[in-house]
Structure 1
Amino acid sequence: MEFIIKISQFLLSLSLLIVLHELGHFIPAKLFKTKVEKFYLFFDVKYSLFKKKIGETVYGIGWLPLGGYVKIAGMIDESMDKEQMAKPPQPWEFRSKPAWQRLIIMLGGVTVNFILAYFIYVGISFTYGDKDYTIDSLEGGYYIENPLLLDLGFKTGDKIIEVNNEPVKSHTDVTKSLISAEEFTIERNGTTKKINLPEDFLGQLSSRKNRSSLFSVRVPFMVAEINDTMQNKGVDLKPGDVLVAINGRDLKYFDQLEPTLENYKNQTVSATFLRDSETIQRDLKVNANGKIGIFPAYSEEKFEELGYFEVTRKEYSFIESFGGGADKFVDQVAGYFEQLKAIFNPKTGAYKGLGGFKAIYDIFPDFWSWEAFWTLTAFLSIMLAILNLLPIPALDGGHVMFLLYEMISGRKPSEKFLERAQLVGFIILIALVLFANGNDIFKAVTN
């Protein structure tokens, strides 16, 4: 079931982005009376799952979900239709249109992706608002389980005070800074300490077999339900009960449970739970693996009420949401450029974390959340737009690069040159796709 939910979100998001991107090329092409021969979701190598011709355009769905395309007559693209290009130019062909019209057609896809991302962020601001954890309120600091962070000197309970000598006020400030972070200032047991990250921190992070979360907010163990096949079936516990002690030993945080139970394998322990405002005692059996067979729950409202953190919330009116959406849009665009900067700098090793379709699939949650779906779709829309703007022949950015050269110099590159450039660009793209998806396979095999 989890797989179905994740793959459904992945395909729905991908399909939406592809169709709207290609629509961004299609609409200006039609406005400028340019013939569009095909409009496809996914690639139709050899055959199509569906196709129907309406007017002069064949609309279809291919079987290979690696993207989509519109085939515009008289344009040197991935179809490499040399037979058509060998014929005399026709008025309804792309190559016959003025350079400024061709530029608008080529920029249409990324423009739609940017606009889509912005309006999604507007909708998220209006519907969900903003919420964050204040750093000062994280009484127990962070839970650190990532081996690389532990090797660098971080410990559970550390509070992050500064990143690159800039004060951090919220949990989001910490997570956003990870791409460019060089130095952390932490508070541990009332004293401050600086921890320097190696230049290839991102590369080391990607290379580790255990890539568990970096900085996790510490919360208590709260009961969701008891596994009815485990040893504590029938114990009188209710969803929402919070574990606070084992055999009289305080247990304030979830991360303290496993090491505590290690000492009581195959034993019965006296567990203290908080139920509403009262404490209750229950005897629990610990199995040979140090487990009690109780599923944990998460409740932001409950944990905030108990004082584990303070959540700052901001709601937006309809008008205010346009400003809130703009802030989110600008932050994400700037953040993605930071990621690209790191990826193209070999010293950071960030290229080792480059992923393909499985990496994108993995970022979707295994439960259905419209907020998460739209947030991820907006991010992927920005990613698709920026990547398509890279000046690589075969990408929109490559076409734009040659069009700008033509508009500035007054000379149009020869069709033979454009064909060769398209071929080179296609080879580069195939290499990047193979590298990214190869990384996915390597990580899956080595983990």
Structure 2
Amino acid sequence: MDPILIKTIQFFLSLSILIVLHELGHYIPAKIFKTKVEKFYLFFDVKFALFKKKVGETEYGIGWLPLGGYVKIAGMIDESMDTEAMKEEPKEWEFRSKPAWQRLIIMLGGVTVNFILAVIIYIGLAYAYGEQYIPADSLKDGVAVTEKAIGDKLGIQTGDKILAVDGDPIEDFNKTYLKLVEGNTMTIERNGQVMEKEIPVDFIATLLEDEDRMRFLSPRYPFIIGSIPEDSGNKDAGLEVKDEVVAIAGDAFTYFDEAKELLEKYKGQDVDLTVLREGQGRLQIPVSISDSATVGVGIGGLSFEELEERGVLRLETNTYTFWESIPAGLDKGVSTLTSYMKQMKKIFNPDTGAYKGVGGFAAIGGLFPNDWNWPAFWGTTAFISIILAFMNILPIPALDGGHVTFLLYEMVTGRKPSDKFLEYAQMIGFFLLIALLLFANGNDLYKWLFK
């Protein structure tokens, strides 16, 4: 199946689950407090609906515009902008007639469900699959900087050990990249010397200049031959896939980044490669180094498990019993939310340039893998659920957070904002959300057209 189709199916499945559960978070407490719910919709039914059916007092349906969903609660100024009903005398079953604390619970229900859902997913993933990671201290010779320009901007080099970001020790190598994006300072070790460095405020903007080069850090890998193309000048030299090249013209090395320097030294020359081959030991293979300093082979072909066997890195897996998975899942939910809040702080600072990376539906769809992978699907769904919880609680009119802000004001001051004020606030919030939607999806379109 086409990868784009797989991503699209995963995106809509995930979005549908999250929207329905979010709206249930509003619907259930509304029903508990005997508040009339007039509509419950997945997606928006502008002008018409793909499906609708009335059960009791509530119309359930599926709209055609996949920008979200909604529950229409009687006696509430919401995205439906149905202000006519608000001109009538309040009814006991309307939202506006309920005590402020009940209205607050109804409005907080959606984001609460989103966060709880993410935690439940993380609990399930921890229990079913555990957590595999590469301990940062297992990279005994530091990291490889695969994009020198980005490394120079950040101030790190191949062979550096990144010990901490903002004083927080790096234990999982896989989290290094995200911590650098979120952080302000880093602690590195270079040639045995520990030093503190500031992370440039516009470092994120540097990464966004070419998103294909964003993953600029990796473990330092040996020179393992992963493939030999048919058009390679050394196709018949005697090299084989999974050979490990350990010397060029007698100059020994350990990692591929060291081999690149030697390839530059011997480019355009005929030399012997020393390779290690399983079952045959060390072999000398005569090859020609091209003028562009290449051997004409693909690099890689080994799994993390095979690299661990060769002593390049160490893999560790945290396994959890059911009861252990509960605090692990909760911790994952809290840390993911905290991490996302740090990223949003960067986005709201124009100096970082992080706003250039704000994405819309295409960016969210791109989070899903190219093939169907249930752990990856659920992990991505949990992450998006965290995003929805955070975004919805922002104090912007038309979002849950806007309603919550006005309710808290009412509870503190004892004065309820007028319906006219709420109506205007809802309109302003709606236009702000449309502007954000256009900006985010415009970013996606720009990247697709010009990058």
1:358 aligns with 2:362: yes
Between the aligned partners of 1:206 and 1:333, the Cα distance in structure 2 is 22
Residue 92 of structure 1 is matched in structure 2 by 93
SS, match of residue 297 in structure 1: coil
- Which consecutive residues of structure 1, in runs of 5 or more, have no partner in the other structure? none
Give the C-alpha shift of residue 330 in structure 1.
Answer: 1.9
1:323 aligns with 2:327: yes
The aligned length equals: 447
Q: 1:215 aligns with which of 214, 217, 224?
A: 217
- Flag the 1:371–1:219 CA change in 2: closer, same or farther, 3 A: farther
Residue 272 of structure 1 is matched in structure 2 by 275
Residue 18 of structure 1 is matched in structure 2 by 19
Residue 3 of structure 2 is matched in structure 1 by 2
Q: Which amino acid counterpart does residue 177 of structure 1 have in structure 2?
A: K
Residue 110 of structure 1 is matched in structure 2 by 111
Answer with 232-241 or 297-306: which moved more.
232-241
Q: Which amino acid counterpart does residue 278 of structure 2 have in structure 1?
A: R
SS, match of residue 70 in structure 1: strand
CA contact (8 A) 1:332 1:379 kept: yes
Alignment of 1:4-403 (within 5 A): 4-146=5-147, 147-172=149-174, 174-208=176-210, 211-220=213-222, 242=244, 244=246, 252-253=254-255, 272-275=275-278, 278=281, 292=296, 294=298, 296-403=300-407
- Flag the 1:241–1:66 CA change in 2: closer, same or farther, 3 A: farther
Between the aligned partners of 2:235 and 2:34, the Cα distance in structure 1 is 71
Q: 1:432 aligns with which of 414, 430, 436?
A: 436
- Which consecutive residues of structure 2, in runs of 5 or more, have no partner in the other structure? none
Between the aligned partners of 2:418 and 2:211, the Cα distance in structure 1 is 49
Between the aligned partners of 1:55 and 1:236, the Cα distance in structure 2 is 77
Q: Which amino acid counterpart does residue 203 of structure 1 have in structure 2?
A: A
Give the C-alpha shift of residue 114 in structure 1.
Answer: 0.9
Answer with 166-175 or 371-380: which moved more.
166-175
Give the C-alpha shift of residue 91 in structure 1.
Answer: 3.0
Percent identical pairs in the alignment equals 52
The superposition leaves residues 377-425 of structure 1 with CA deviations (integer Å, 9 ceiling, x where unpaired) of: 2121111111111111100011111112222222222111111110011
Give the C-alpha shift of residue 112 in structure 1.
Answer: 0.4
Q: Which amino acid counterpart does residue 408 of structure 2 have in structure 1?
A: L
- Flag the 1:285–1:336 CA change in 2: closer, same or farther, 3 A: same
Using structure 1 for the length normalisation, give the TM-score: 0.86
Give the C-alpha shift of residue 103 in structure 1.
Answer: 1.4
1:446 aligns with 2:450: yes
Give the C-alpha shift of residue 110 in structure 1.
Answer: 0.5
Answer with 143-152 or 321-330: which moved more.
143-152
The superposition leaves residues 311-340 of structure 1 with CA deviations (integer Å, 9 ceiling, x where unpaired) of: 232211111111211221221122122122
Between the aligned partners of 1:419 and 1:386, the Cα distance in structure 2 is 24
Give the C-alpha shift of residue 107 in structure 1.
Answer: 0.9
Query: What is the CA RMSD across the aligned residues, in angstroms?
Result: 3.3
- Flag the 1:432–1:148 CA change in 2: closer, same or farther, 3 A: same
Between the aligned partners of 1:63 and 1:231, the Cα distance in structure 2 is 56
SS, match of residue 392 in structure 1: coil
SS, match of residue 362 in structure 2: helix
CA contact (8 A) 1:209 1:446 kept: no
